[in-house]
Amino acid sequence: MEALLNSLGELVFVLDKEHRFVFATGPPSAFLIPPEKFVGEKIDKVVPEYLVNLYYKAFQQCSQKRPVEYEYELTIKGEKRYFVGTLSCIYIDGKLNGTVVVAKEITERKKAVQELLRLETRYYNLFRSVPVGICVVRMDTWEILEFNPKTAEIFGYSVDEFKNIKIDALYVDPDELKEVTSKLVSDGEVNIDLRMRRRDGTTIHVKMLAKHREDDSGNHFMEIVFQDITKIKELEQALRENLNRMEVLFEDIVLALSKIMRFKDLYTDLHQRRVADLTNLLSQKLNLDEETARGIYIAALLHDIGKIAVPSDILSKPTKLTDIEFELIKRHPIVGYEILREVDFPWPVAEIVLQHHERLDGSGYPYGLRDDEIMMEARILAVADVVEAMSSHRPYRPALGLFAALDELSKNRGKLYDPYVVDACLEVCSKGIKADHSESIFRF
């Protein structure tokens, strides 16, 4: 019998009606003294005082003929261990004849419970102290079942006031709540920026991350994290307004730079603006992204700024240029590059200007670049430059006309000019492009 009891891993004590041990067995590691030394001794002689007190307290309750359970701890070989004991009274012919105590070690379970309590306390404190709002909402009633203090603070309520608030009362637009609910049920979670209402009626911007949860009874809940992003939105708006102002200022500076040529050569000023407008149309036809198109437009507005280094009498010379004069003209992309490379443009404006007279077969200038050595932006600018130059009046010749310009592109498609850009230009022009040779810019 003793071997069987030992195999159960429990401590078993039998005491007579005088509370003297008559039997003791169990795992030796769970005893303060060997089990055999209990036998014949009264409980208060071999058991620590606080355990004796627990025993007698349980014994008083056990007198009502019901087993009594109690927990206790012992320090055995320097290690704190936990046990749960069950005391039962033995009655023979209706008279108390002794007691049986069965004790089971629960150290691992106790430590696990303590760890869970520690984690629960830790996460509860974290729940209360995090700088974002957290709440749980029942979706059929919109009741806020749980929330941390930050949630109430975000919406301008005290914690007690917020206990009576339903989530739908916080939405500025009821349709947004329907949208959130629908998306939450279909996708399982929502990450969205919303306008919501504070206690004083003011509107705030809130980032909401919500997850959908359904319990075993079929009830649906929203587990929500709120972050007040009102100040971030206000800052973003201020930055956008500032950026818009800077863009306007930037455009004004670029236009001012391009107009420098007006005092040198009126034709060049008008030419640059007309070419810039044509590059916009070509960029749209080629489906270029907005930023790339903008870079080409800026480069076009400034592409002949290097001619500021060319004497005015050469720029406006009514007769054919000499070889030396033409060599001076051919330096204007390099001069333009030198002027513009010091400006920190968000696009390769200086490089586009440097290459706008290069040609696919290497016959262009200033460096005789070929094919893929020439930037796509420069290829677009080159086509627009040729079309406007041939369509417009020059000091040394009358306008050749748009049809002559398009014929030049067609004949040299893929040889001098990028074939895709040529095709785009032909399509744009076929829809009724017109050149106005007055002092206004190209009109399309």
Percent of the chain with pLDDT over 70: 93
Q: What are the pLDDT digits (tens) for 192-217?
A: 999 999 999 999 999 999 999 988 88
Parse the chain into domains and list their residue ranges: 2-108, 130-228, 236-430
Residue 63 has a pLDDT of: 64
Q: What are the pLDDT digits (tens) for 132-171?
A: 899 999 999 999 998 999 999 999 999 999 999 999 999 9
Residue 66 has a pLDDT of: 81
Note whether 2-108 and 236-430 share their fold: no
Residue 4 has a pLDDT of: 45
Residue 432 has a pLDDT of: 56
Q: Does 236-430 carry CATH code 3.20.20.100?
A: no
Can you tell me the mean pLDDT for 256-272? 76
433 pLDDT higher than 70: no
Q: Which fold has domain 130-228?
A: Beta-Lactamase (3.30.450)
5 pLDDT higher than 60: no
Q: Tell me the one-letter amino acid at 136.
A: V
**Mean pLDDT score across all residues of the chain:** 86
Cα distance between residue 296 and residue 303, in whole Å:
10
Q: What are the pLDDT digits (tens) for 35-92?
A: 888 999 999 999 999 899 999 999 988 865 689 999 988 888 888 899 999 999 988 8
387 pLDDT higher than 90: yes
Residue 257 has a pLDDT of: 74
The architecture that CATH gives domain 2-108 is: 2-Layer Sandwich (3.30)
Least confident piece of the model among 87-91, 172-176, 392-396 = 392-396
